[in-house]
Amino acid sequence: MKKNYFSTLLIVFIISLYTNSIFAQGGQINLNKLIEETQKLSEGANEMTIVWWIPEEFWIASFSQDTSITKTQIEEFLKILRPFTVVVVVDGTVGAFGGITYRTESTIRADVEIKDSKGISYRPISGDEIDSDAQNFLSMMKPVFVNMLGQMGENMHFILFPSMNKTGQNITNPMEEGSFSVMIGEREFKWRLPLGSLLPLKMCPKCGEKLIGSYKFCPWDGTKL
């Protein structure tokens, strides 16, 4: 029963990746922009590295477009992943002739961590600390990426971190001001929050330009928003 439920969610997830805008939480979210904001690419020479932070709002937006999935079902799913900060990592080196040598999940896990806005580091959660429902869902995600992206998908690894610090505060909150980084060795992939794709557009009172919701000043004339 639960496997069929997860399969249904995966189908909706795949469809959502090909949909530009969907309605969720009473407003319109451009899923392409959300994915763009939550993915970071390496700028290093000869590196093929993608770090994709998948916040809860992504799943809500993906599943809310299917009226056959109830709010209760969505909430049941969110409860499974809510204890975790979900990050997908693919890390490879491009050879002289364009071939990519990918790092294994174990080597990535050995030197990946999250740093919150205060500089506190968090290591990945080990497999024996992840409950069976979460493990089942993540194992079902693997072939989805393989079918969509081939060898790259085969080397996309889900890394789970804690969602809260010791005081019970969210390490990452896409709706509140702050920042966090995913570190792979000495390489830093940083997010500044909140995510503009989740906020209503703002309008500059001076020039009338529509702007990303996270902007504090108009980039065209410097007017405070």
User: For residues 181 and 198, is the Cβ–Cβ distance under 8 A?
Assistant: no
- Residue 6 predicted with pLDDT over 80: no
- Residue 15 predicted with pLDDT over 50: no
Indicate the domain borders of the chain: 2-194, 196-225
- How confident is the model over 181-212, as pLDDT tens digits? 999 999 999 999 999 989 888 899 989 988 88
- How confident is the model over 47-106, as pLDDT tens digits? 899 999 999 998 888 777 777 778 888 888 899 999 999 999 999 999 888 889 999 999
Measure Cα distances from 83 to 134, 156, 189, 219 in Å. Answer: 10, 21, 22, 37
What is the Cα gyration radius of the chain?
18
